[in-house]
Structure 1
Amino acid sequence: MDVLSDISSLRERLKRESSVSLVPTMGGLHDGHLSLVHLARMKADCVVTSIFVNRLQFSPTEDFDRYPRALADDCKLLEQWGTSVVFAPSEHTLYPVLQEFMVEPPPLANSLEGEFRPGFFRGVATVVLKLFNIVQPQIAVFGKKDYQQLHLVRELVRQFNYSLEIVAGETVRAPDNLALSSRNRYLTPETRAEAARLYQVLAQVKCQIEKGNTCFDDLERNATGILFEHGWKTDYISVRHAHTLAPAHEGDEDMVVLGAAQLRGTRLIDNVELHLES
């Protein structure tokens, strides 16, 4: 496995590869990331995993400075899981000058995550476009845990006419169904025991919809109330159409229940998909 930090060396290394898949990450790797690497290995001869904590997607009040950084440990894991190349650029490498050209995402980026993290998807779209240009993969793998991000990346690829397949990796969960996340490291033993409740309330909403309850507003309010009773501050619980992320309506067959909430300073996100037979 090669660990490279500059663009020219990466491009020279990839010249000899017939097919390349890219797994973009910010490091702090866990089994969820590694499942994406495994999926990428099934799709291309060469797997490039990028590790870069992207300042553009953090607001001044967020955790950019304390976000988990463990490059040596991450590289050990990636080598075990079959990554061919780790691309770990410095900030100066990806942003050698002030980044004044930015990718402006569609209005959807201002809802859900975008409502509570203004500018987040602008930063994500800009760095993802840079990585696509640098690596020039045929495949890129993104996790379903970041459901809205996955949707917007697919739209970016479609609207910019990239010849690139976006592959979605399923969310990997702990035994109690907590979605794996680098930010789970912020949880204390006490909050870790409570953290799985977010998935539980989303699963309860899914169950109610499958039983025929289409009062989505009520379901969202009830889920928010349950979290509030257990010490959570909810950003959103929202039932959306799975393919457009527009608010769900009665008669929709494919839906997703998305949630984001803070538990004593740690912000967690999750989602559950559902399909209703017509």
Structure 2
Amino acid sequence: MIPDGGRPAMHGYDVFRHYEQKRWTLAELPFDDIDRDRVRPEYVTMVKSSVMGEANSIAAQHGFLNEFDDYDFSTFVAVWGYEELQHHFAFRTWLDAVGVTMPAAPVEAMRAPYAPGTTPSATLATNIISELTVNHVYRSVAAWVDEPVLRSLMLRASRDEAGHAREFLHYARRRLAAHPGELPSVLETLYVYTSEARIKHPVGVFKSGLAEVADHETIDTAFDLFLAGIATEGELDRLQDNIRRAFAALTGLDLSTNGRVRRRLAEALA
């Protein structure tokens, strides 16, 4: 449907126009100017792990398009998938520039689609968490690395992930308004991913057991490195607090502690 003025009445159209204006390209990054003297082994480990995490956008798009019978959301998924694939290729380009080649098998093992969530709202909640997590980690890694091209790449990817989180929140808010009975699944998802003193990410939860990645870096490798040597004191708490605040804004509930998340879940199930 095209309303007066000729513009489609879809949020996905607005997202497309916004992304079109802010989009960056691999050609803008001076990979030929990488300062090899500043490249440390930990940087390579972090980037290889990021390649593995971003490789899952293909599987995620497959899952979204199968689970959601929603043209508007599907248009966002197409734009989102492009940006995530761009991150994947950008990190691989940085590795190529420093003489590191990614093996094919671990990346190709990421292709299998995810199983749908317990509800569509839970699927959206999971992706809100993943985007907020990677946004935070990429931003912190950018401040930590001493190689300028990688720093710029991490900052660009971090900004993209912040935008993705915002849009997943939009679609989750719309889904919950139409299906309020899915609220318990959202609260359960929040609790599962933020109730432990570690970073949990859907890629690690669903793909870490694959034989093809047994002897290779995974996204969990990046998170372990982040917590062991990059994160400042209390940073994990700040990350999880930020996630809970986003879900509080989504649901209108006080979710400021794990105990309150449990209580709101019990109330929603009563």
TM-score (norm 1): 0.27
Relative contact order, higher structure (CA 8 A, sep 6+): 2
Looking at secondary structure, tell me which structure has more helix per residue. Answer: 2
